[in-house]
Structure 1
């Protein structure tokens, strides 16, 4: 830390601290076979080389058919609530979650996009630059799984090697036998998409936190590794101000997009 500079570490809730590498839902349903953070990432974080390891802000986008439970999924993790009467998302909703990963502040921007056809002209503009793509489908709806490849292709078109997930929701609505049958099909689709499969329930909270911790850790590991291997560029301050700036810029973009969506869809 340079002389005269005050570093302010963002406040992170105790339930958002990641010190161990979260494991995959199924080892045979993931292209990400690492069992720990990369040694270079662990070393950089432990030494607090803030010239290369500073405040990390990454973007995650959720896509999928209408009514598959994307908003319920996000709200269960971000607010620990479940409401079966959520209104359909119009355009894009936006959440920010702060983590501490290996002692380094990390912020995940979660973009919850609309599944309706009439909003695609707007939602697609938010896919650009995504670090994580989460294709969500309804475990009780075979059509939503069949459409997963189309959503993945659309969401990754303007993203550079994002971390990919295929998430099946509403697990609580299936018996174990029915779930096992759907899961076997979903795993095949996930492997075809080079994505990691998860089965979750927003109603019960089953696997929701584990999933988002896994997504955050994989994204953090990839982002820090890229930065460490590319060498220092511009030193970054660890502080709240950068989060606020990034969040405001994203909110401004969202506000402009919301106005555009009204114009587009009318």
Structure 2
């Protein structure tokens, strides 16, 4: 678990505006800004930690990607935990509000498939990782997305497709692989990011983007839930008042 708490007040942009979850958005939603600036805290009670799952083939660099971000460490030969799952927590203060992102790093081995699938539930963010030097790992990205969605009852997920090991690609090979990745990300409805856990290229920017979009969606859902709860309470008050008024009228009639 990281001990840092990152402060974020600016809305982070995507790597490529043409392959983005929110291509035209360059600032926080007005409702989110207003809610975070207001003293009213009712909506905050329904805010929960945001769960992100990291999936992909074996040895594509999932653990290295998470470790680079959470610990600023690069261990190219780091092994996967025997249970097939690693768990990290990142804390933020976004627009002055506390926010927690859970990063679930899943194993790609077949023998861990059933274990990993159990952890897909309630994920709000799916990060599909592939190796920019291995075309088959990109081709398998659609499979991993299907796997993640099949174990997740919440279909309203933000999806990212992340290429790793960019430092190992020549300019020509990267351009060819990026073209394929962009095409696939459009097909998957995902946002594309190329990264390098060795050099750190785009790692911080990517996860900051993930955290902010996860925060914004969580706040909007919490506001919606709060408004629905308030509306239900008002309806109950109106019904109660009408019932009380009817009882008073009946009592008055009986006394005539």
Q: TM-score, normalised by structure 1?
A: 0.80
Measured in 2, the distance between the counterparts of 1:88 and 1:105 equals: 30
Where do 4+ consecutive residues of structure 1 move more than 6 Å? none
Measured in 2, the distance between the counterparts of 1:116 and 1:20 equals: 38
Q: Secondary structure of 1:21's partner?
A: coil
Higher normalized contact order (CA 8 Å, seq sep 6+, divided by chain length): 1
Does 2:70 align with 1:62?
no
Q: Is the 1:68–1:137 Cα contact (8 Å) retained in structure 2?
A: yes
Q: Which runs of 5+ in 1 are unaligned?
A: 1-11, 235-266
Measured in 2, the distance between the counterparts of 1:68 and 1:220 equals: 27
Match of 2:36 in 1: 45
Q: Which runs of 5+ in 2 are unaligned?
A: 230-256
Q: Secondary structure of 2:60's partner?
A: coil
Match of residue 17, structure 2, among 27, 31, 37: 27
Measured in 2, the distance between the counterparts of 1:102 and 1:60 equals: 21
* Stretch deviating more after TM superposition (40-49 or 19-28): 40-49
Deviation string for 1:31-64 (max 9, x for gaps)?
3222211110110001142210355411000000
**Aligned residues, how many?**
223
Q: Is the 1:129–1:160 Cα contact (8 Å) retained in structure 2?
A: no
Instruction: Let me know the Cα RMSD of the aligned residues.
Output: 1.7
Q: TM-score, normalised by structure 2?
A: 0.83
The alpha carbon displacement at 1:117 in A equals 0.8
Measured in 2, the distance between the counterparts of 1:13 and 1:76 equals: 14
Q: Is the 1:82–1:202 Cα contact (8 Å) retained in structure 2?
A: yes
Match of residue 216, structure 1, among 206, 211, 217: 211
Match of residue 84, structure 1, among 76, 84, 96: 76
Q: Is the 1:64–1:136 Cα contact (8 Å) retained in structure 2?
A: yes
Q: Secondary structure of 1:53's partner?
A: helix
The alpha carbon displacement at 1:18 in A equals 0.9
Deviation string for 1:184-213 (max 9, x for gaps)?
110000000000000000001000000000
